[in-house]
Structure 1
């Protein structure tokens, strides 16, 4: 049993990155600054890659949080104690700024994520650990 949950992507994030990157890319082309162009294009590509390669996998007893090559975290579902809604905008393996949840596990550890189908995601975790407290 393996269930994959993509991260919700707020449309505002890609638009923000496009709007902020394009002027610098245009200036670098106009000025024939290939180094600046290469840097901006690389940063833009990396950010878009991370936005769309963020997902969460629930297997038997394990939650895997994946975000590109940056985050690849495995969490025992049995160690999860609380899932709650959060408004934190801190950096996290979540492609949404508005629909984030915090998964608390172990001894005071937590991770902020944003599964596209939040309720189905939580239901799947509860099937494996009925003791998880949910505050959504």
Structure 2
């Protein structure tokens, strides 16, 4: 089993904190504490989700959150900065194309080591980075 953590764009984390900071502070100043507690709870859940983003290679399976990809079905890996929602905490991403039409965007901290591990299992993967 090999685990790779997600790369983190700290400016993205800063934006999320700023977006939630306003309603939290406003709720405290206006004595609407339910608003502040709700926003803090949501911010906490986002923090927990962020801390759980990792990519795990177990045998011939790549696990990305609840997604399980058979490494033998991976056809192509390419670099992207696509901002679509995905299990990636950075816009410095790679796209993994698997099966016939499936694709997932991820942002491993150490891309080269991650791709090398995948290539050990499936050397037929086309890498465009």
TM-score by length of 2: 0.96
SS in structure 1 of the partner of residue 85 of structure 2: coil
Match of 1:112 among 105, 110, 125: 105
SS in structure 1 of the partner of residue 45 of structure 2: helix
User: What does residue 129 of structure 1 align with?
Assistant: 122
Alpha carbons 1:9, 1:52 under 8 Å: kept: no
Displacement, 1:91?
0.2
User: What does residue 81 of structure 2 align with?
Assistant: 87
Displacement, 1:34?
2.2
Give 5+ residue unaligned stretches, structure 2.
none
Looking at structure 1, the residues matched to 124 and 116 of structure 2 have their Cα atoms a distance apart, in angstroms, of: 12
TM-score by length of 1: 0.91
Looking at structure 2, the residues matched to 17 and 110 of structure 1 have their Cα atoms a distance apart, in angstroms, of: 26
SS in structure 1 of the partner of residue 113 of structure 2: helix
Mapping for residues 65-80 of structure 1, pairs under 5 Å: 65-66=64-65, 72-80=66-74
Displacement, 1:126?
0.1
Mapping for residues 1-136 of structure 1, pairs under 5 Å: 2-66=1-65, 72-97=66-91, 99-136=92-129
**Is 73-82 or 15-24 further displaced after alignment?**
15-24
Give 5+ residue unaligned stretches, structure 1.
67-71
Looking at structure 2, the residues matched to 37 and 63 of structure 1 have their Cα atoms a distance apart, in angstroms, of: 39
**Is 111-120 or 21-30 further displaced after alignment?**
21-30
Instruction: State the 4+ residue runs in structure 1 displaced beyond 3 angstroms.
Output: none
- Equivalent residues, number: 129
